[in-house]
């Protein structure tokens, strides 16, 4: 049985790796999900086979309840709610790591080796930080806690003191086997998860979500060591490492330091600049009919989607309009910025839901050189990812951040509710350029009007 379980766990681990590979591209994401589901099924069944006197009623009840809740959330969650749902799921992984570690510590009659104590310490404190940090991220993303950064004097010093105290109690547990020391270490880690995330503003949440994804993976790996479960160790390590790589990519896309993300307190909110700082500016506005006419008579159109598109649930109407343009012979493509939306890949998922052909969706590096030769760029629901200040204004907080170079196109159409600043609190010079036409209104209503105008 031991050899069979080892083989089955190996098969499950390979399937998890194939799942991650599949999820790296929209074209193979569905197949990747299937690999992951099959791998999890094999892992769960194998675990049942090797367990010693499992309490089947409790385990089956938990699986049924969790599966029912998961299925319900998958059916009911809106695209705008996906980021906070992901953060909430990360929190559950962290909480699981903490509870399993505590259960292992208090398991009577079991002596832990020095290596096992270190594994318990690492798994528990990463899980605790992941849990509370994810709860705060959930609150910021959902608007329950407010998206603004919370800063106060001595913040980094407090984090340092908490981290040292956490390690100190961990060492005390290692030396003395003190349950109280372990619980104090966990309690401090729970507080540290909060203090690390509260200084981070809402505009930087995509990086936070990505980093918490990595943390949850390492927490899962810690659970694997505690339970002596190799497939959980492998799966956790894969998620942790891939999340760390994604976080690095996201940091580059936002001109952030990966170290500052790990330490917390980066990306503080900034005051509104631009128009608010230098007085009123002139801008041109037009109607949806004007915008439809311009795009209907263009040779090439690039659509830049943002979080506002998800909020208004306009992705299906937008794809309908894009199909109308395509039928007229217009070359229509979608440009995706790595941090558009509130989580990594948010816009890719949004467009996939609307059944946008994958070949028309291009990443920033692929499409940026094409903006200068594009007739019309339609910016809908995006702000900071097309802000020229990132390239031109050294005093701007986002200076150095790679952007979609929409400002280089011949004509720019921006759909917004008003001239208010974006999520990062920054005004956008793109809105005041002579080549830019603002179309005000709810994105879905505007796009529906574009469809009407584009059908003539």
Catalogue the active-site residues: 384
Among residues 189, 160, 108, 180, the alpha carbon closest in space to that of 172 is found at 180
**Taken in order 37, 38, 43, 49, is the CA torsion positive or negative?**
positive
pLDDT at 287 over 60: yes
User: Residue 49 above 80 pLDDT?
Assistant: yes
Ranges 270-279, 294-303, 423-432, 438-447: which has the least confidence? 270-279
Average pLDDT of span 357-363? 88
> CA nearest 379: which of 320, 449, 298, 295?
295
What gap in Å lies between CA 321 and CA 451, rounded to an integer? 5
pLDDT tens figures, 157-199: 998 999 999 999 999 999 998 999 999 999 999 999 999 888 8
The residue with greater pLDDT, 18 or 422, is: 18
Of 256 and 322, which is predicted with more confidence? 322
The torsion of the CA quartet 138, 305, 71, 60, rounded to 10 degrees, works out to: -50
Higher pLDDT, 202 or 231: 231
Averaged pLDDT score across all residues of the chain? 85
Read off the pLDDT of each residue in 325-335 and give the average, rounded to a whole number.
93
- Other Cβ atoms less than 10 A from the Cβ of 324: the count is 21
Q: Is the pLDDT confidence value at 276 over 80? A: no
All structural domains of the chain: 77-263 (no CATH), 275-454 (3.40.50.1220)
Confidence of residue 273 (pLDDT cuts 50, 70, 90): very low
What are 417-423's contacts with CB under 8 Å, separation 24+?
417/308, 417/441, 417/442, 419/275, 419/283, 421/272, 421/273, 421/274, 421/276, 421/383, 422/203, 422/383, 422/384, 422/387, 423/147, 423/202, 423/203, 423/307, 423/383, 423/384
Letter string b/e over residues 169-193, b meaning 16 or more CB atoms within 10 A of that residue's CB: bbebbbeeeeeebbbbbbebbbbbb
Compare 209 and 218 and report the one with higher pLDDT. 218
State pTM to two decimals. 0.76
Average pLDDT in the 260-269 region?
55
pLDDT grade, residue 147 (50/70/90)?
Answer: low
Q: For residue 84, give Cα distances in angstroms to 70, 136, 138, 179, 424.
A: 14, 10, 5, 34, 18
């Amino acid at each position: 049985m031991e050899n069979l379980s080892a083989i089955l766990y190996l098969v499950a681990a390979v399937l998890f790796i194939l799942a991650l590979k599949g999820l790296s591209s929209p074209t193979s994401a569905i197949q990747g999900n299937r690999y992951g589901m099959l791998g999890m099924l094999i892992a769960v069944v194998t675990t049942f086979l090797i367990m010693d006197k499992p309490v089947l009623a409790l385990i089956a009840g938990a699986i049924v309840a969790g599966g029912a809740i998961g299925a319900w959330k998958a059916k009911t969650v809106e695209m705008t709610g996906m980021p906070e749902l992901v953060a909430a799921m990360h929190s559950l992984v962290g909480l699981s790591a903490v509870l399993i570690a505590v259960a292992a510590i208090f398991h009577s009659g079991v002596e832990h080796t020095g290596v096992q104590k270190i594994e318990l310490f690492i798994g528990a404190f990463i899980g605790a930080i992941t849990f509370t940090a994810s709860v705060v991220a959930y609150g910021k993303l959902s608007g329950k806690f407010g998206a603004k950064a919370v800063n106060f004097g001595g913040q980094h010093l407090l984090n340092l003191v908490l981290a040292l105290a956490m390690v100190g109690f961990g060492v005390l547990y290692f030396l003395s086997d003190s349950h109280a020391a372990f619980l104090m270490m966990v309690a401090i880690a729970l507080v540290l998860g909060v203090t690390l995330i509260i200084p981070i503003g809402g505009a930087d949440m995509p990086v936070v979500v990505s980093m918490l994804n990595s943390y949850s993976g390492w927490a899962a790996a810690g659970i694997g060591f505690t339970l002596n479960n190799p497939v959980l160790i492998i799966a956790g390590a894969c998620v942790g490492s891939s999340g760390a790589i994604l976080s690095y990519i996201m940091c580059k896309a936002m001109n952030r330091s990966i170290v500052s993300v790990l330490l917390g307190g980066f990306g503080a909110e900034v005051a509104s600049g631009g128009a608010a700082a230098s007085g009123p500016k002139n801008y041109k506005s037009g109607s949806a009919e004007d915008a439809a006419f311009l795009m209907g008579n263009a040779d090439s159109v690039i659509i830049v989607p943002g979080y506002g598109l998800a909020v208004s649930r306009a992705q299906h109407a937008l794809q309908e309009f894009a199909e109308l343009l395509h039928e007229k012979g217009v070359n229509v493509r979608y440009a995706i910025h790595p941090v558009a939306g509130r989580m990594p890949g948010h816009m890719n998922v949004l467009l996939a839901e609307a059944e946008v052909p994958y070949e028309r969706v291009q990443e920033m590096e692929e499409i940026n050189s094409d903006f200068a030769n594009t007739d019309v760029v339609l910016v809908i629901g995006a702000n900071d990812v097309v802000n020229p200040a990132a390239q031109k204004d050294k005093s701007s907080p986002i200076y150095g951040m790679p952007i979609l170079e929409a400002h280089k196109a011949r004509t720019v159409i921006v759909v917004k509710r008003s001239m208010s600043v974006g999520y990062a609190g920054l005004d956008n010079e793109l809105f005041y350029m002579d080549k830019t036409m603002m179309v005000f209104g709810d994105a879905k209503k505007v796009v529906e009007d574009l469809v009407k105008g584009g059908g003539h």
